[in-house]
Structure 1
Amino acid sequence: MENKIFYQDPYIKSFTAQILTKGKDESGNNYIVLDQTAFYPTGGGQPHDVGTIENMKVINVEEVEGKIRHYLESEFDHMSVSVNGVIDWDRRFDHMQQHAGQHILSAAFENLFEYKTVGFHLGNEILTIDLETEHLSEIEVEKAEQLANEIILENRIIDAKWVTEEELSRYPLRKATKVKDNIRLVIIPDFDYNGCGGTHPKATGEVQAIKILEWEKQKKKTRVQFVCGNRVIKQLNQKNKVLIELTKLLNSPEKDMPKSVIRLLENGKNIEKELEQTLEKVLYFEARSLLEHSQEKSIVGEVFQNRTIQELQKLARIILTEDENAIVLFVSQNENMLQLVCARDSAEAISMKKVIGNALLMIKGKGGGSDSFAQGGGEALISADEMLQHLLDSI
């Protein structure tokens, strides 16, 4: 572990090292291996560091077969054997805050309710832990969050130490370690003892704060979303901007906003219902007009532009209600598509399913239905008027 400077001191922002090897991986990505590094490689739920080596961007860091590869944006052609590396400190410290915060929150849930953490993800915006419980109440969430923030305010030491497998029995581990050699424990005295290979601050106070955002059931577990440290401020800023904008749009103070939104949704539902009723009346008038102006008795054929197939179906049913002897043949051209509806009263013998099936073959279409009512659509390989004439000829 001597070459992993991030374990010796996670606060080191720059370092000097010797190049051991250069190479390309199977995908052709360029990397170099150094004799020592402060760049943390992806592992243990924590993302890798980024930064620069001799002003060339480090875009990924991975440990492969015991060697830490620093993936660069382009091939490294620096002539000197000795190089200078600089860590993106904002990203590193953010990861330190989030990872330590996860330890604290997971320990809080386990200490209070014996809910074990069985999954962890550190994302760019939020963190998640999966708790081994199907049910999580709001009261439990509040208590765990309160305890976690109390531990932060106490500014307890966060100690990292290397132990042997035999020495593990001395510590009340939150979960068993997977590794047998080079075992690293991260310890918050009298609160949390956990095997971990990530980077952490020297005291809980540097985590600043923990805020749980939401939680939901995931199969037989519960996934908790939260943020720590500077991300809490970022979340507060984002949500505050949204609230300010909503107060302007709703013309309502923040405390009355839920009532205003409920009222707005109810008004929207009422308007939607009124529009549906109005459309229904319009369709009835349209149906009667089509019946009155049909050129052949009881055969209503019409071409439309940009009508949905749902509207055509509803209009056809209204016509059949108004005239039980009617035969309805509708074609609507919607850009480069044709929509067809063919319907008749049940007393007629002609099969609408067969009529529309033959028509759909002409436009590479698909559809279906019954002998009395069928619909479908396809490419506008012929004009809507030509399609209507074909349907008329078919009956």
Structure 2
Amino acid sequence: MEKYAQNSYLTEIETTITERGKDEIGNFVCLKETVVYPGGGGQPADCAWIAGNPILKIQKTADSVFYYLDIDVETLPEKVLVKINWEQRFDFMQQHTGQHILARVCEDLFQARITKEQMTLKDSFFEIDVKLDKTQLQTALKRSNEIIRAQKQVSILFPTEEELAKETLFTAPPKYFKDLRLIKIADFDIIGCGGTHVKNTAEVQAIALTQVKEHKKTTTLHFACGNRLLQQFETNQKQLTALTLQANVPVDGLALAFQEQQQTIKFYQGQVALYQVNELVANAKELTPHFIYSEITDTEAKELQTAAKKIAEIYPDKLICTATSDEDSLRYHLYLKTADPKRPIGQVIRTANQKFAGRGGGSPTKGDGTIPYLQKDALLRFLQQ
């Protein structure tokens, strides 16, 4: 029996092992009763222990729930104590109830449809099929926190078919089936759900958005509630304090200081790139009458391309190869000022890929490729042909 489905606040139970064995996953037991949420509906499984042994994996089937342990399960007694990590459980209860509230507010205010939802130990989010501007998001958060502060009762219901038909808060009523489980927030929301929840919206404490990601047709709302929100706030405040001390500016000056720092970094990156291009040009060697090669370490594809064009101004009728290397690979750029119909660059690189386990491609006059560094000499011999 799933005790967590009736009472999310149960943290431990003494129960009987009904089955024990080993399969392709590992050693497992099945239990007569459980307080352990097995995961599902976007909510992860509980962190829990059986007779003091951590549950490594939970596998739920139509008939049973298998709990996998890293011990010889034959040594376990018939009756065992099953215990969950309450701090983690309550965190998920806060996040899950907060998600119900914010999602329903978005449905009511903006006719949004929830298309995806997920909770992890560090992040919670759901996706809606509309795009919301800053004002709409602020309105949704304000309304959600009003619901939280209103101390509305959160109930677990197992309705009969007749009772289900009388409920009027649904946005999309579920079809009735045996053991249908509903989560109801008094006079505000009701929805079919198998997860764990708080008893009163006040226990959610507060909800805030941590990130908003806009996609082509949808929006993903990342959020935090309750204790998790407080912990994130404290962490952010410590980081903010450290940044202001390091930058020697007040909080409201951090954005400008960061912008100035980025401009300085960008300037010096440009200087380094210019130096690398000049080095590639200076290092260019005529290996054959028609082939020029230059290589330096630790540069980017853009610099390889720029240098190749500059070298081609000096050697306009030759195949130019600029390259950079690390311990494992050689990245190279090929360039011809004028296309050679007999030897288009893109085809040369594709042939090199086959010969030297590389990757890349290009057009008739230019292209980029990567090969294992041990194949460098073989590549150069191939390009000189």
**Is the counterpart of residue 166 in structure 1 residue 162 in structure 2?**
yes
Deviations 1:134-178 (A, max 9, x none): x11111111111111112112111111211223222112132225
Find the counterpart in structure 1 of residue 249 from structure 2: 252
Aligned residues: 377
**382 and 68 in structure 1: CA distance in 2 versus 1, 3 angstrom threshold:** closer
Deviations 1:271-328 (A, max 9, x none): 34455556667777778xx8xxx999x999777664868767655654554577x868
Deviation at 1:329, TM superposition (A): 7.5
In structure 1, the residue corresponding to 2:158 is in which secondary structure? strand
Find the counterpart in structure 2 of residue 241 from structure 1: 238
Find the counterpart in structure 2 of residue 22 from structure 1: 20
**269 and 373 in structure 1: CA distance in 2 versus 1, 3 angstrom threshold:** closer
Find the counterpart in structure 2 of residue 155 from structure 1: 151
2: CA distance, partners of 1:217 / 1:341: 36
**342 and 210 in structure 1: CA distance in 2 versus 1, 3 angstrom threshold:** closer
Asked if the contact 2:20–2:74 (Cα under 8 Å) also holds between the matched residues in 1, the reply is: no
**111 and 275 in structure 1: CA distance in 2 versus 1, 3 angstrom threshold:** same
1: CA distance, partners of 2:90 / 2:227: 10
Asked if the contact 2:283–2:294 (Cα under 8 Å) also holds between the matched residues in 1, the reply is: no
Deviations 1:240-288 (A, max 9, x none): 233223223332221111111122222333334455556667777778x
**376 and 226 in structure 1: CA distance in 2 versus 1, 3 angstrom threshold:** closer
In structure 2, the residue corresponding to 1:163 is in which secondary structure? coil
Find the counterpart in structure 2 of residue 64 from structure 1: 61
Name which one, 1 or 2, has greater alpha-carbon Rg: 1
Task: Please report the TM-score for the alignment, with normalisation by the length of structure 1.
Answer: 0.77
**170 and 261 in structure 1: CA distance in 2 versus 1, 3 angstrom threshold:** same
In structure 2, the residue corresponding to 1:246 is in which secondary structure? helix
2: CA distance, partners of 1:299 / 1:44: 64
Find the counterpart in structure 2 of residue 13 from structure 1: 11
**Is the counterpart of residue 183 in structure 1 residue 161 in structure 2?**
no
Deviation at 1:351, TM superposition (A): 8.2
* Letter in structure 1 aligned against 2:3: I
Q: In structure 1, list runs of 5 or more residues that go unmatched.
A: none
Matched residues, percent identical? 27
State the superposition RMSD in angstroms. 4.2
Find the counterpart in structure 2 of residue 123 from structure 1: 120
**28 and 344 in structure 1: CA distance in 2 versus 1, 3 angstrom threshold:** closer
Find the counterpart in structure 2 of residue 144 from structure 1: 140
Deviations 1:334-361 (A, max 9, x none): 5677788898987x9x9897xx99xx79
Give the 5 Å matches for 1:273-312. Answer: 273-276=270-273, 306=297
**62 and 166 in structure 1: CA distance in 2 versus 1, 3 angstrom threshold:** farther
Deviation at 1:11, TM superposition (A): 1.6
1: CA distance, partners of 2:101 / 2:79: 40
* Letter in structure 2 aligned against 1:138: K
2: CA distance, partners of 1:329 / 1:340: 10
Asked if the contact 1:159–1:202 (Cα under 8 Å) also holds between the matched residues in 2, the reply is: yes
Deviation at 1:98, TM superposition (A): 1.3
* Letter in structure 1 aligned against 2:152: R
**Is the counterpart of residue 76 in structure 1 residue 73 in structure 2?**
yes
Task: Please report the TM-score for the alignment, with normalisation by the length of structure 2.
Answer: 0.79
Find the counterpart in structure 2 of residue 227 from structure 1: 224
2: CA distance, partners of 1:127 / 1:23: 35
Asked if the contact 1:117–1:129 (Cα under 8 Å) also holds between the matched residues in 2, the reply is: yes
* Letter in structure 1 aligned against 2:142: Q
Deviations 1:344-393 (A, max 9, x none): 987x9x9897xx99xx79x9487988999899786677997xx69x95xx
Asked if the contact 2:15–2:33 (Cα under 8 Å) also holds between the matched residues in 1, the reply is: yes
Asked if the contact 1:328–1:341 (Cα under 8 Å) also holds between the matched residues in 2, the reply is: no
2: CA distance, partners of 1:115 / 1:373: 48
Asked if the contact 1:340–1:376 (Cα under 8 Å) also holds between the matched residues in 2, the reply is: yes
In structure 2, the residue corresponding to 1:77 is in which secondary structure? helix
Asked if the contact 1:351–1:372 (Cα under 8 Å) also holds between the matched residues in 2, the reply is: no
2: CA distance, partners of 1:167 / 1:295: 86
Deviation at 1:19, TM superposition (A): 1.6
**Is the counterpart of residue 106 in structure 1 residue 103 in structure 2?**
yes
Q: In structure 2, list runs of 5 or more residues that go unmatched.
A: none
Asked if the contact 1:17–1:34 (Cα under 8 Å) also holds between the matched residues in 2, the reply is: yes
Find the counterpart in structure 2 of residue 50 from structure 1: 47
* Letter in structure 2 aligned against 1:132: D
1: CA distance, partners of 2:40 / 2:376: 62
Asked if the contact 2:59–2:67 (Cα under 8 Å) also holds between the matched residues in 1, the reply is: yes
In structure 1, the residue corresponding to 2:74 is in which secondary structure? coil
1: CA distance, partners of 2:375 / 2:161: 78
Q: Pick from 17, 31, 35 the counterpart of residue 32 of structure 2.
A: 35
* Letter in structure 2 aligned against 1:191: F
1: CA distance, partners of 2:233 / 2:165: 42
In structure 1, the residue corresponding to 2:108 is in which secondary structure? helix
Asked if the contact 1:333–1:380 (Cα under 8 Å) also holds between the matched residues in 2, the reply is: no
- Farther off after superposition, 276-285 or 170-179: 276-285
Q: Pick from 203, 207, 216 the counterpart of residue 210 of structure 1.
A: 207
Deviation at 1:106, TM superposition (A): 1.3
2: CA distance, partners of 1:352 / 1:82: 75
**37 and 267 in structure 1: CA distance in 2 versus 1, 3 angstrom threshold:** same
